[in-house]
Chains A and B, each alone.
Chain A
Amino acid sequence: MADFEPNIIAFVCNWCTYEAADLAGTSRLQYPPNVKLIRLMCSGAVDPIFIIKTLLEGADGVLVGGCHPGSCHYVSGNYKARRRFMILNKVLESVGFDTRRIWIRWIAASEGKLFAQTVTEMVEEIRKLGPNQLKKTWDI
């Protein structure tokens, strides 16, 4: 199989992970261009339906980035998000999805390197998993 370029959508929180991405940029850190960022105010604002929809539309991977638990800009947004993602992962794995395509990472604003590293790792892991077959599934 020729190397395919994974298409990864990232839902990142404005105050931490988005800042980290910005810092990675200003520090001229190199990381693969496969990630498309969608900025939300908080990881708690990520409705699980966004993640499901993204995968059904054929994205090869979904990354959700937020502040470290305990440091949420809105105090408890990421705690609620954490429970939602536990539920989401259990539901999706129980119907036959490959939940290795969904990554949740807590990346603080000062962790530009960690952001670049996470993206690099994720692109490689998703590349190994291959393209998301749902791109072709028409009866959904």
Chain B
Amino acid sequence: MPKAYKLQIKNNDLLQGINSFFQSLLQEKIVDALLLPQETNSRKSILSTLVKDKEQITSANPFVPFLLLNSASLLVKLSKGKTREKIGAVLRSCEIRAAVELIKLKQINPENLILIGVDCLGTYEPAVFKELAQNFSDTAELTRQYLSDAARALPNQLGGKELRLACQTCEYPNPANADITINFIGCDTTREIIIQCSEKFNAVDWSKLGLTPAEDISSWKNASKTCLDTRLQSRDKLFQQVAEQTKNLEGFLKDLENCRHCNNCRKECPICYCQECIFDSRIFEHEHDQYIKWAERKGKVRIPTDTLLFHLTRMNHMAVSCVGCGQCTSACPNGLPIAKYFKTIGFKVQEVFGYQAGRSLEEEVPQSTFKEDEFPHVGEPDKKPH
């Protein structure tokens, strides 16, 4: 059972408080290096930094409604080979869930990795966030406004802009499977937030890091449940909308009209880890004759070819581990609503195996295991498969 602590916030300054907490993690050698989001030099954006010197933690901000990329991919790079130093990674729930999948897929080495989860109320698409940030002097001010809006009502309306669809429908506002979690939903973030630490830190004197034991975390639990209920409603609405749109293939094709097969969705997807994707191999270097034959057979053919095949294949390969982070849509230069399909279909595929991506390190990824007795009627269209 994790132990719950309070972090008292001084001078109503949450960001200063969390900054000091991160500094103390390095100071007290809980971690040797910290991967955390900090403000850019322009002060209008946030990106991930890897820090060893606590003095270089100056503008930590894990609460900002913006996520540049799913940092699980960064953990793949940072944990490669023999790891000597303990890296603490400050991550949102979708990033941790992707990291859990990648650990099971043997892409992240969990030795010497400390996962620090943060509650998330949702983020904005990069272009939307850029626009919003113009109205504030820096991301710190934007974050303060965002959190105070959230405390009063649904946090979807900063500047009248909507959160990313993936965030609105995310079933995991609280991170799980983390060693340390930073929980702020339902807290008065000008006074205190909750920090929970797993049993492996029972020997640590957390008072040195400014934490005091918390007796009652029910306001966090209740507020998180309310947030979750809203999200589930949005998610079920999304599933229904996708089901209606996909009664035949045309619905899906319509949303893919402007796909130019740039593969950005694949590059940003934390789960797509293949060193050489089949679509980059010679199999898809078609010759002049092949294109001409297609044009002849169909009358006309879309160029570039294989766009639908790309999305369907990618779905087949990674849907069992899709955590619904929505980076595929955020990365798409044409803003295609890929995330809504991958999330919905990811959910349905995982349901077939009673599996949830990112739920547990003990649960095997469905494609890496099998049971001898299961699915007796697969591929018999007139019977239910199981």
Contacts and interface: CB of A to CB of B under 8 A. Distances in A.
Interface in A37-69: 48-49, 52-53, 56, 58, 64, 69
Interface residues of A, number: 41
- By secondary structure, the B interface counts as helix
Interface stretch (B78-86, B104-112, B229-237, B250-258): B250-258
A99 B381 contact: yes
For the side of the interface on B, what is the size category?
Answer: 35 or more
- By secondary structure, the A interface counts as helix
Contact of B299 (A56, A88, A89, A138): A138
Contacts of A56: 308-309
A127 interface: no
Given A91-B345, A96-B247, A140-B309, A82 B378 contact: yes
Contacts of A90: 345, 348-349, 352
B246 interface: yes
Contact of B316 (A64, A82, A88, A135): A88
B372 A87 contact: no
A95 B302 contact: no
A98 B242 CA distance: 17
A33 interface: no
Nearest to B254: A139
A83 B371 CA distance: 9
B301 to A, nearest CB: 5
A92 interface: yes
B18 interface: no
A69 B372 contact: yes
Contact of B341 (A64, A87, A95): A95
Given A95-B249, A135-B298, A138-B302, 17 more contacts: A49-B309, A79-B371, A83-B370, A85-B379, A87-B316, A87-B366, A89-B378, A89-B385, A90-B352, A94-B242, A96-B246, A103-B379, A104-B379, A105-B379, A125-B381, A137-B253, A140-B302
